[in-house]
Structure 1
Amino acid sequence: MESQTLQDTKPLALAQEPRNPGMDLDLDWVAGVQANTSAIERRCATLPARRSVKKDYQAAWLLKAVTCIDLTTLSGDDTEERVRRLCAKARQPVRGDILQALDMPPLTTGAVCVYHEMVAAAVQALKGTDIPVAAVSTGFPAGLSPFHLRVAEIEESVKAGAKEIDIVISRRHVLAGNWQALYDEMQAFRAACGEAHVKAILATGELGSLRNVARASLICMMAGADFIKTSTGKESVNATLPVSLVMIRAIRDYYDRTGFRVGYKPAGGISKAKDALVYLSLIKEELGDRWLQPDLFRFGASSLLNDIERQLEHHTSGAYSASYRHAMA
């Protein structure tokens, strides 16, 4: 992991991946998917201890993490002013003096993620940048509103300017093993997104088993998902390393079979810089460097950026600042 240096993190033009077109539903492939829970848990237990980075290498990886954050606010008391403040932070996620001390040019987060009602305010606040607005949709977080309204919600968010749509799947289809229904649902959501990229939220904490997570991941990719995402952040269990390992191995299998790369987004409960480093190392080991770019990897987070900025300030100054001194505190 220590091959990444500060110089390596200078912004580069994103490679343009051909979009995953999906494929016909292959139930034989789905039926053959298994998940060895004990082996998965052993692999994940060793990762934090084996993969640690220090000093300049750590700073480089934390800067990489910043560029892969979907800076998010999904609260019932969201206001347009809060969203504008979030967008200002997305434009300059790390203080200028810290970047100057690291000899780094300006950088931005990967996207800003909001509810549909706040899409217009976010689009306006990010005008003149390349930062996309992502909208959560389809009756987020439960996904239990009438189907035609879920499709219409996607269409309205795209019309309002969202470039990415985070949809929630119907968990009941997974729990009942109704793979055709899940496939059809995902295809309809993808069609409603048009040119906007679609992230399929599996809500893995509610799927019952790692095997179900693997199968749901595969179905969503077959139906054309551009990203698969762990959680809404509203479940009792959100992103975990075992779930992440299962999902990214499904991504790897899909790429090996079809030649199309699908992105990955862990979300919910990732709030510490050290956790971000573990996820990045897992992606590097399992999928390779190409998946470490923001067009293929994102963190769904709000407080993570605050801790990363504190760690970077410590790297440059030798002292930790209070968390309330940072703009996202």
Structure 2
Amino acid sequence: MIRLGIIGTSWITAMFIDAAMKTNAYDLTTVYSRSQASGEKFLASLDIDTDNVDVVTTLSDLYQSIDVVYIASPNALHFEQAKVAIQSGVHVIVEKPSFSNPTEFEKIESLLAKHPDVRLFEAARHVHQPNFKAIQETVAKMAQLQGATLVYQKYSSRYDAYLAGQEPNVLTREFSAGALYDLGVYPIYAALAVYGTPNAVQYLPRLLRNGADGSGVANLFYDNFNVTVIFGKTSNSYLPSEFYGLKDTISVSNIAELEKVTYYDGEGNSNHLGDVPEENPMIRESQDFANIINDPTTNHAEYSQWFQLAKQVNQTLFDLRQSAGIEFPADIKE
């Protein structure tokens, strides 16, 4: 069993723990929290036996007792937490976006080279789903590619707090957050996983009073087509996402959740692709990561592919921010 440690006590952490336990590959042993009380409160909220799970309040105590850490803290904290984990010989599963900028990513990549037995995974759960793989396989068969329109616009549970004058972490540049890094990362990941790295990018954001982006439209430019990405945290959208061939089209109900994927052949005929998604969308990525940890040699090519995709997404997100003049404090740190 892989000894699992946790940083972060939000809903997404609880979802990952549930998924990891359902693979029967992990054993939750340790939860890191800034206070003992908040860690114990989080454990009490989980629908699993936590009698043998410890709560710790220092990273040194966390990393000495686990094989892999799942990091779901605010984005700006990912780099330091992952760095210490790698130095401690602990594998890292870090929520997307993994790091604030390419400089941080390159430092982590260099550190991994010095610790060749350690693996780092970005938890882009949707690209591990069977329905996403069905999209990739179908796009590869299209006679002519004409790009895509990808949409992920969801009202943030923290936007009301922002409107009331507060500064929630997920809507501030201080924590390397905003619409692009919180929601836009899903369709950006999808675009790069299907089409590869774009030749050029452009981001047109709607900025909040604190300089963070609340919503926006990103354009990814390829040789023979463009991809338009629409996302935001200040309103809801129920538009599907679409991948275009010549006459044929793939329609996706939600590019992050992938509940329904439909292929239209251009003659009015439709065909559902993939399967009914699992109740917990993080099960597939949890199993994929466990496979790598348990057998890194056999699965090295797949791991390398995921790592390179994560690196390309990191660069693309940074380039999009640069095009819009959005700077994070993490960008100017030594």
TM-score (norm 1): 0.31
Question: Greater strand share, 1 or 2?
Answer: 2
